[in-house]
Amino acid sequence: MNIDWFPLLNSLRIAAISCVLVFFTGIFFAYYAARLPRTVKGILDVILTLPMVLPPTVCGYFLLLAFGVKRPLGLFLQQFGVQFVMTWYGGVLAAAVVAFPLMYRTARGAFESFDETLAYSGQTLGLSNAYIFWRIRMPACRQGILAGTVLAFARALGEYGATSMLIGYTPGRTATISTTVYQLWRTNDEAGAFFWVMVNLAISTVVLLTVNLLENRQKKAVAK
Amino acid sequence: MSLIVDIRRDLGKFRLDVSFEAENGVTCLLGASGCGKSMTLRCIAGIEKPDEGHIELDGVVLYDSEKHVDLPPQQRKVGYLFQNYALFPNMTVRQNILCGLCREKDWGVKETRLREMLGLMQLEGLENHKPHQLSGGQQQRVALARILVSDPRLLLLDEPFSALDGHLRDALKIELRDLLQRYGREVLMVTHDRTEAYNMSRQIAVMDKGRILTQKPTKALFADPGSVPAAVLTGCKNIAGARRIDGHTVEVPDWGLRLEVAQPVGEDLKAVGIRAHYFNTATSRNRFPVRFVEEMEEPFETIIQFRFEGQAPDSPPIWWRIPKEKRPAQLPPEIGVAPVNVLLLYEI
């Protein structure tokens, strides 16, 4: 069987890059949201979590509203040669938007259970705030943040709705595993669809096993 | 070496309005839980911000709302020992202590100071342990080591013994007191435990609902607390409203008696207190007929509760504490208290 591996590579690069983006933005918002006054935090929390509960096609709709080729923002970006519609990096945007809440919520949970006196004592000892964040807060929250990252990666890898709305399916250009499965099934290539389903299952299983492993380690760390 | 604090902050239920000065040696803020003691320490360390006021340490202004000075905690050089010690769990003892040396750039100096401190704190051999592998006492020593290597101008101790078992606590009190004496810096400690305050400090400031009621040398405070909250905090069990009769006599309506007192009585007397240890069967002064109510044994002392003959029914029984071997076999019909042992309280 002569297999075109492009969908796997495309899915992996979309998932990997969006995962990196979501890692930093998720942590950033989680860290600052934990410090906001209650009401502002509540509102921000709803907005930031919406992509998780909305149907992905609705997210795709909003993305098209913003970045569509005839929309102001889309037109503006085209001047710099950036176009999110029908490009593989548009897939990064779609996957990042949908995966963001997973990272944000898990990281926020980890930050909220952080013992703030550790940060205070670091400050009184003269440690810089950046040092405290990266060397004390992040290590203390590392299990939660890792779990969030893995979940975000898995979600980005499996993204279908928003991706198909924004970048569609072009073999060799924008095809991902999930859009390929749909396309092959639609064109009666049952064997091809089954193959990609298996690939997806394998990756997702590994990811979930990793999450469980991390959670077990966290439980042990807490028990200590 | 001096600390000047004069700050105000709204704490919701009440207003923190604290003003005091502390000099060389250990000063203690004594107050019930939630009276604003810890908030005061946090404001001094720069972790919390007062609404307004002035904080000055050794002539350096740390905070001043009018001059818009508010140094970040990193620049205040104020060491803060947290109740739970706040050791960094992901770091070893060595790394934790090195955090206190972050201002020092020369690695040779860092290493020397680290060695010195490990020796001083008897932590040799534990360098590579993680905090969770240490006992409570060791954790406290690491936390102190980490603070002392950073060479703070002022050391703040927040309920330093509350996380320890009773047995360990006494041993550590002696250890910490000796260390602080050798260290010879200014120390401000908060506690709700009168024994701790008495053991550790030279000066005590009594805090109640966000205010400082009195500030006195430790022994003077226990001898003459001066106010009802201070009397309660220093462990006085028997307190009742009172009014002045003449220069050396007070009337206590709840107890149905008049007491002779040693100190001259002020016009605005509000209450009197008698410590449970101060009752006496032998004295001929202030002797009153009593009725015994209840008795409870402790390991080395007996607590006896009694009522004065003329005592109001709704006033709680009087506590009398006496070493077991001194407890008379037959409880006496009359009990007295020396005039010098009647505490005069002017504020409720």
Partners of A133 on chain B (C-beta within 8 Å) are none
Closest approach of chain A CAs to the CA of B133, in angstroms? 9
Mean pLDDT, residues B135-141: 87
Mean pLDDT of chain A: 89
Query: Which candidate, B309, B304, B307, B308, places its Cα nearest to that of B327?
Result: B304
Contact A29, A106 (CB under 8 A): no
Mean pLDDT, residues A78-106: 91
Query: Which candidate, B290, B288, B285, places its Cα nearest to that of B339?
Result: B285
**Residue B157 DSSP label:** E
Q: What does the alpha-carbon distance between residue A35 and residue B80 come to, in Å, rounded to a whole number?
A: 23
Contact A67, A85 (CB under 8 A): yes
Contact A27, A200 (CB under 8 A): no
Q: Which of B73, B83, B90 lies nearest to residue A139, judging by beta carbons?
A: B90
Q: Determine the pLDDT at residue A221.
A: 62
Which residues of B fall below an 8 Å CB-CB distance to A?
A: 42, 45-47, 72-74, 76-80, 82-84, 86, 88-90, 99-100, 102-103, 132, 143, 146-147, 150, 152
Contact B82, A117 (CB under 8 A): yes
Enter the tokens of residue B252.
Answer: 């206590």
Cα of first residue to Cα of last residue in chain B, in angstroms, is 34
Mean pLDDT, residues B243-267: 87
Q: Determine the pLDDT at residue A91.
A: 92
Instruction: Look at residue A16 and give its three-state secondary structure.
Output: helix
Partners of A139 on chain B (C-beta within 8 Å) are 90
Partners of A128 on chain B (C-beta within 8 Å) are 74
Partners of A136 on chain B (C-beta within 8 Å) are 88, 90
Contact B93, B123 (CB under 8 A): yes
Q: Determine the pLDDT at residue A220.
A: 67
Partners of B45 on chain A (C-beta within 8 Å) are 120, 124
Q: Which helix (H) or strand (E) holds B238?
A: strand B238-241
What is the CB-side half-sphere exposure of residue B233 using CA atoms within 13 A?
33
Q: Identity (one letter) of the amino acid at B217?
A: P
Q: Does B244 have pLDDT greater than 60?
A: yes
Mean pLDDT, residues B320-329: 86
Mean pLDDT of chain B: 88
Closest approach of chain B CAs to the CA of A77, in angstroms? 42
Give the number of other Cβ atoms within 10 Å of residue B110's Cβ.
17
Partners of B89 on chain A (C-beta within 8 Å) are 118, 140
Per-residue pLDDT tens over the stretch B11-35: 888 899 999 998 878 899 999 888 8
Contact A90, A84 (CB under 8 A): yes
Burial B148-187 (b: 16+ CB within 10 A, else e): bbbebbbbbbbbbbeebeeeebeebbebbeeebeeeebbb
Q: What does the alpha-carbon distance between residue B345 and residue B336 come to, in Å, rounded to a whole number?
A: 20
* Neighbouring residues of A48: CB distance < 8 A, sequence distance ≥ 6: A29, A33, A100, A101, A104
Angle between helices A6-33 and A88-112 in degrees, nearest 10: 40
Q: What is the largest CA-CA distance in chain B?
A: 76
Give the number of other Cβ atoms within 10 Å of residue A25's Cβ.
15
Reported as a pLDDT band with limits 50, 70 and 90, residue A61 is very high
Q: Determine the pLDDT at residue B190.
A: 92
Q: What is the largest CA-CA distance in chain A?
A: 67
Q: Which of A124, A128, A131 lies nearest to residue B80, judging by beta carbons?
A: A124
Phi/psi for A159 (5° steps) reads -60, 130
Closest approach of chain A CAs to the CA of B66, in angstroms? 24
Q: What does the alpha-carbon distance between residue B63 and residue B265 come to, in Å, rounded to a whole number?
A: 41
* Residue position matching structure tokens 């939630």: B34
Per-residue pLDDT tens over the stretch B56-109: 998 899 999 999 999 999 999 999 999 889 999 999 999 999 999 988 888 888
Domains, chain A, in order of start with CATH, read 6-223 (1.10.3720.10)
Q: What does the alpha-carbon distance between residue B78 and residue A120 come to, in Å, rounded to a whole number?
A: 12
Q: What does the alpha-carbon distance between residue A54 and residue A193 come to, in Å, rounded to a whole number?
A: 27
Q: What does the alpha-carbon distance between residue A63 and residue B87 come to, in Å, rounded to a whole number?
A: 46
User: A120 and B146 in contact by Cβ < 8 A?
Assistant: no
Q: What is the per-residue DSSP string for B53-108? A: EEEEETTEEEEETTTTEE--HHHH-EEEE-TTTT--TTS-HHHHHHHTTTT---HH
Contact A150, A210 (CB under 8 A): yes
Query: Which candidate, B82, B100, B77, B97, places its Cα nearest to that of B153?
Result: B77
Q: Determine the pLDDT at residue A62.
A: 92
* Residue position matching structure tokens 């979501």: A22
* Residue position matching structure tokens 């002539």: B59
Q: Determine the pLDDT at residue B245.
A: 87
Q: Determine the pLDDT at residue A16.
A: 94
* Neighbouring residues of A31: CB distance < 8 A, sequence distance ≥ 6: A107, A111, A133
Per-residue pLDDT tens over the stretch A137-192: 999 988 888 889 988 998 898 899 999 999 989 888 899 999 999 999 999 989 99
Q: Does B183 have pLDDT greater than 80?
A: no
Q: What does the alpha-carbon distance between residue A38 and residue A15 come to, in Å, rounded to a whole number?
A: 33
SS3 readout for B254-289: HHCEEEECCCCCCCCCCEEEECHHHEECCCCCCEEE
Q: Determine the pLDDT at residue B327.
A: 83
User: B74 and A128 in contact by Cβ < 8 A?
Assistant: yes
Query: Which candidate, B247, B249, B225, B248, places its Cα nearest to that of B238?
Result: B225
> A125: burial class by Cβ within 10 Å (0-12, 13-18, 19+)?
buried
Enter the tokens of residue B122.
Answer: 């008897």
Least confident segment among B36-50, B125-139, B168-182, B280-294: B168-182
* Neighbouring residues of B297: CB distance < 8 A, sequence distance ≥ 6: B303, B324
Q: Does A203 have pLDDT greater than 70?
A: yes
The angle formed by the CA atoms of residues B298, B301 and B304, to the nearest 5 degrees, is 85
